[in-house]
Structure 1
Amino acid sequence: MALPVRNEEFEVKSRLSEVFGLEANDIQDIIMQGLYARKACTPNHPRTYAGLAQWADTVRALRDKTSPSGWTSSDDNNFPLCIHPSNNLMIVVQTGDRDTGISANNPSNRAAKGTNTEQAIWANQKQLSLFDALPEVLVEAGNSNRIMWVLLYHVTPSEIRFELSLPSKIVGGKIRSWQERLVFPAIVLDQIDIEIGDDDDGNDNRQEFEINIERKI
């Protein structure tokens, strides 16, 4: 059975409100604030810092946007989370591979993740009862009653694609399948000077760049 990939505006809007109490513009603004942090980098920053700055400010923007509604933050084990006031779900920000934000494809996180992500996705499996048989021994994932969603984004020379999705399986630190995906329209990056290496080679071939941002209609 095909799992839900939601990319129609009304579907995404409905699920964001129902599950998170958020609007599509909230997620777009969060992604754009990460882009602004990347834009602020100069040639005198370390070569890989622009990507790190984008990720860190995306996390910060997510927390800023949700904290007035009672969301809380956790950095236990250096694993930055944004936790819903119900304490039943959480969001983590990760960079995605080239399939991110493309409805027909199966995206994954760009770099292999460690124990914290694996534990959280095991908890997703247990909570959602996705499989007929799970291993008898599961690594405890902090609060295993929480479902973890991933705010995944991917930058290309022409656009940034992003989605808020619910992972269901992780193998070797890489997310392999999803229970549900909320896919947003890409944000067009106009007049960019950037070089990006192979998404899957594990290298951070990030360059500083000037961008003008406009929403893709």
Structure 2
Amino acid sequence: MTAVAIHQEASNRLASLGLEAQSLQRTVLRADAEARLISDLEPPNAEGVTRYNKTNRYIREELMPSGWFPDNTQGYCRTVHPGREWAIVASSGDSDTGLWTPNRSPSTKYRKGETTEKAVTQNFFQTSFDLGQAFQLEAPIDDDGQVVWYLLYNVTEDKIFVELSLPDRIEGGRITHWAERIIIDPIDRASSVSLPIGESPDDGAGDYTVDVAML
């Protein structure tokens, strides 16, 4: 059974992982601003590739000041918690992403490779007996076996739906089942992301304005 956290419970669960909803919202909104610059003169997959690349860049900019660090081993782009216990991977999701609907669950939009399959399988064995009270993850972890969370995003014409979720099953190359879902409030794509005067986006820090649309 999938554990689902929304609203305040989601904020509390994110805090237990060393995260804040606003930093994840800023991440996907900044990536969206970059993806919007893609024109019809570029290759058909340019927008999706740009969104994925920038999401990974900006989540690292958000989290590295808190001690998180990048790891691209075997081409598997992870942002790793300072304690090395868990990591975050960004991925596009389907239309169920960021929404809580009984008896429905999101899946990754595109098929994943062998490295992802290995990570999801590792998640299953590490969390099968550890999602107890307060969702504490206490399984032994080694350098090659962090619990891997997925930052899923789905972009519609006017909103970005996002969640941070822990996969435990992959079928046909797509992640289809989740041990835990932390659903974050959707973001209005018309929101602005502002940086302090004199600070470049590369600095990866500072004040932002993110308007959140509640459903």
TM over 0.5, shorter chain: yes
Aligned to 2:186: 186
What is the distance in 2 between the residues matched to 1:32 and 1:117?
25
Counterpart of 1:207 in structure 2 is none
Q: How far apart in 1 are the matches of 2:94 and 2:152?
A: 9
Matched, 1:124 2:129: no
Question: Which position in structure 2 is the counterpart of 1:56?
Answer: 53
Indicate the RMSD between aligned Cα atoms, in angstroms: 2.0
User: Helix, strand or coil: the match of 1:215?
Assistant: coil
2-side partners of 1:3 and 1:79: how far apart? 25
Identity over aligned pairs, percent:
31
Normalised by the length of structure 1, the TM-score is 0.78
Aligned to 1:175: 175
| CA apart distance, 1:47 | 2.6
CA drift of 1:3 comes to 2.4
SS at match of 1:216: coil
CA distance in 2, matches of 1:26, 1:177: 25
Match of 2:32 in 1: 35
1:214 Cα shift? 4.6
1:78 to 75, 81, 85: 75
What secondary structure does 2:83 align onto? coil
Distance across 2 between alignment mates of 1:24 and 1:12: 8
The corresponding residue for 1:205 is none
Q: Which runs of 5+ in 1 are unaligned?
A: 131-141, 191-212
Give the distance between the partners of 1:86 and 1:65, measured in 2 at CA.
17
Give the 3-state SS of the residue equivalent to 1:186 in structure 2. strand
Structure-2-length-normalised TM-score = 0.79
The equivalent residue for 2:66 is: 69
Inter-partner Cα distance in structure 1 for 2:68 and 2:57: 13
Which runs of no fewer than 5 residues in structure 2 stay unpaired? 130-141, 191-209
> What is the rounded CA distance, in whole Å, between the counterparts of 1:65 and 1:25 in structure 2?
10
CA 1:171–1:144: 2 relative to 1, 3 Å: farther
Count residues in correspondence. Answer: 183
Instruction: Give the aligned partner of residue 132 of structure 2.
Output: none
Cα 1:121–1:12 shift into 2, 3 Å: same
**Structure 1 SS opposite 2:111:** coil
